[in-house]
Amino acid sequence: MVPVIKENDSATSVAQKKYPVTVIVPAYNEADCIADTVNSLLVQSFLPEEIIVIDDGSTDNTAEICRSLGVTVLTPPENTGSKAGAQNYALSHINSEFTLAIDADTTLKEDGLEKLFGAMDDPDVVAACGFVIPQKVSTLWERGRYVEYLMAFTFYKEIQEYYEKPLISSGCFSLFRTEYLQQNNGWSLRTMAEDMDLTWTAYQLGKKVRFIPSAVCYPIEPHNFHFMNKQLKRWAHGFIQNVRLHWKGIMHVPFLRSIVMVMCWDASIASIFYLTAIPILAVMVSPLFLLGYIIDLPMVLVPTLVKAYSRGETLKALCSIPAFLVLRVVNSAIFLKALFEELVLKRTLTTYEKGH
């Protein structure tokens, strides 16, 4: 299927043609980074029909900056309370065939939208996402996340794409068929990971989701423990909530059920082993058991360096590996805490907190 292309009155070149895409950018106090995000959208090789920023009750000048850049600004009557809420607010204003959802702190490579668009040739594809690389790689947490993304998007996600079941169409940069979003009443508020919810719902409806590695985006990642903790907490609770919500449905989706199962196992059982058995064995039996923390290093190192080398960032990646090992320990501890709260204490996380 070839999307319908609308031309500007004065435009004749391909670069000036506008594609049937509306970009929605939920924003709350994003004055520091929103200009970069909007500017990266304005220089896309495929120009969208409209760019809508949802100023979700910002107390800074986010809205003024966006208006000065010539994009549409929507202002809900009051703060919607979450990214999904802000996106849903904009959904009724969208008339185009496709919707690009992008975070306010995320910039795109010039051909990011064009590359994602290619996935929509298949009418069964309802969502497509791209490769994520942190915009800033400076602090321990940003470095850890940098390695995590290089590894996961080069190895895990490529395999998920090969088997036609990417685990998640990332919330920071995804292209959707607007009709699919409208049929599902947009982004659901029932979990803390609305992007995962939307992706798994699509599979259960027999629809497809694609991962396009050449479509690259650059989000700003949490730079300190305070914000990283908030983000990881939201992700951990979101994952558990989605498994509880969808487990019966995804049992009928081959491969997806396998990746969710091994993820559950690694995040719970392996985390318990990692955080308790290894230190206990190290103290009680031999300190050599501490080698357990680095014994799987090639699993992280090889895909990370393959991607880093192609980007000319080998040294940066190598220097960031220790940060990843720290992030991994923190991630597993936060997941176990979330598991305990959700399943034992029955305390479901319902408050959305920004990750940066």
- Residue 340 interacts with another protein (CB under 8 A): yes or no: no
Nearer to another protein, 265 or 340 (CB): 265
Query: Is 176 or 324 the residue whose CB approaches another protein more closely?
Result: 324
CB-based contact 61:28 (threshold 8 Å): no
Cβ proximity to another protein: between 113 and 232 the closer is 232
Residue 295 within binding range of another protein, rule CB under 8 A: yes
Please report, as residue ranges, which positions from 266 to 285 form the binding site for another protein (by CB under 8 A).
Answer: 266-271, 274
**DSSP letters along 27-95, please?**
ESS-TTTHHHHHHHHHT-SSEEEEEEEEE-S-SSSHHHHHHHTT-EEE--SS--SSHHHHHHHHHTT--
| Residue 206 in tokens | 């027999």
Minimum CB–partner distance for residue 160 and another protein (Å): 9
Beta bridge partners of 51: 23
Cα-based distances in Å from 227 to 150, 220, 222, 232, 356? 21, 12, 5, 9, 5
| 3-state secondary structure (DSSP) of residue 24 | strand
Does 96 bind another protein (CB under 8 A)? Our answer is no
Question: How far apart are CB 316 and another protein at their closest, in Å?
Answer: 19
Q: By CB under 8 A, what part of segment 230-269 binds another protein? A: 232, 235-236, 239, 248, 251-252, 254, 257-259, 261-263, 265-269
Cα–Cα distance, 51 to 73 (Å, whole number): 9
Task: Considering the complex, state which of residue 69 and residue 152 has its C-beta at the smaller distance from another protein.
Answer: 152
Residue 259's Cα: distance from chain center in Å? 17
- Binding positions for another protein, 155-174, rule CB under 8 A: 155-156, 158-159, 162-163, 167-168, 170
Looking at beta carbons only, is 42 or 297 nearer to another protein? 297
**Does residue 193 bind another protein (CB under 8 A)?**
yes
Query: Which residue in 127, 91, 95, 98 sits closest to 3, CA to CA?
Result: 98
Nearer to another protein, 69 or 159 (CB): 159
Q: Which two tokens stand for residue 95?
A: 């008339």
Cβ 89 to another protein shortest distance, Å: 23
Q: Which of 297, 319, 326, 343 binds another protein (CB under 8 A)?
A: 297
Choice between 74 and 290, CB closer to another protein: 290
CA gap 193, 239 in Å, rounded = 7
Q: Which is nearer to another protein, 34 or 240 (CB)?
A: 240
Query: 3-class DSSP state for residue 3?
Result: coil
Paired sense of beta strands 72-74 and 106-108, if any: unpaired
Nearest approach, Cβ of residue 27 and another protein (Å): 21
Measured distance CA(169)–CA(155) in Å, rounded: 16
Size of the site for another protein (CB under 8 A): 55
Report the SS3 class of residue 189: coil
In the complex, the smallest distance separating the C-beta of residue 100 from another protein, rounded to whole angstroms, is 19
Please report where in the chains the tokens 């809508």 appear, as a residue.
52
Q: Which one of residues 5, 224, 298, 353 is an interface residue with another protein (CB under 8 A)?
A: 298
Q: How far is CA 132 from CA 63, 69, 147, 289, 329, in A?
A: 26, 25, 11, 34, 22
Name the site residues for another protein (rule: CB under 8 A): 148, 151-152, 154-156, 158-159, 162-163, 167-168, 170, 193, 195-196, 232, 235-236, 239, 248, 251-252, 254, 257-259, 261-263, 265-271, 274, 288, 291, 294-303, 306, 328, 331-332, 335
